[in-house]
Amino acid sequence: MIKKRFFFFALSYLFAHNPEQKNIVWTNFVRLGIVSNTEINQTGLSSFYRIKRVNDNTFRDLRIYAHFFKSVSDIRIRSKSSNKYDFNSRLYHFTTYVYHKSGENLRYHFNQGLGALIKDEIQGNITSEIGWAYDKSDFIESDEKTTYLKSAITIDRDFSKFKTKAELEYYHQISEVVLFNLSRFQTIVEFQFLINETWSTVIGIDREVYTESSNRFRIDPITIYISINRKGLLN
């Protein structure tokens, strides 16, 4: 039931629109490649799909990550929406839902807050966000809801032959510690080498680091992937 509700919210945020809004741009990407996970010390198949809808004031984004290894699969679905404020187009509010299934373990995550466009250019942008978040997870064999303060920064840069992306998120636990303190950094760094307007090669690192050294329920996982990226699969 929770999974069905998540998909309903994800699709509703992505496709909801105001018919009076103009300059709507749809973009989608698909990737296939290989991935290595240090937590399980295995190499497997990496796949990724992203579709986003952007106009002058709104942003809708759906990402699906699916990594398949010999002993386990790791699937993450993230839906994010944001709307700029009328009084200042560099400020926006956002809402994010994440469904993460790693093997038999599940995590449902939600966060929302305020963001700012620190730099917005054709060559790339820099955004910063603050807000609150919570998740429910059986990674720690507990159904307790954990609440956090969230801070994040994203840096995108476009060059003639390649693109770079860096996303850094920090979740500071503010709810009572039941079993473990789950404060953590989540980082994604990508380098995209352009072959032409449609095809490119992507090399990326995805890492989750828990700040409390006493947390040994899960070794800080590092995922390294190399993929072929195709833009505009669905036109």
What pLDDT does 181 receive? Answer: 84
Looking at mean pLDDT, say which of 106-110, 130-134, 174-178 comes out highest.
130-134
List, for residues 65-108, the tens digit of each pLDDT value.
999 999 999 999 999 999 999 999 999 999 999 999 988 888 89
For residue 112, the one-letter residue type is: Q
In order of their start, the domains of the chain are 2-231 (2.40.160.40)
Closest CA to 234 of 27, 33, 52: 27
Which comes out higher in pLDDT, residue 145 or 235? 145
Q: Which of 33-42, 54-63, 163-172 has the highest mean pLDDT?
A: 163-172
Mean pLDDT calculated for residue range 24-31: 92
Stretch among 1-5, 177-181, 196-200, 214-218 having the lowest mean pLDDT: 1-5
Across the range 109-120, mean pLDDT stands at: 96
DSSP for 74-130, written as a single string? EEEEEEEEEEEETTEEEEEEEEEEEEEEETTEEEEEEEEEEEEEEEEETTEEEEEEE
- At 151, the pLDDT band (50, 70, 90 cuts) reads very high
What mean pLDDT do residues 28-37 have? 96
105 CB contacts (<8 Å, ≥6 apart)? 137, 138, 139
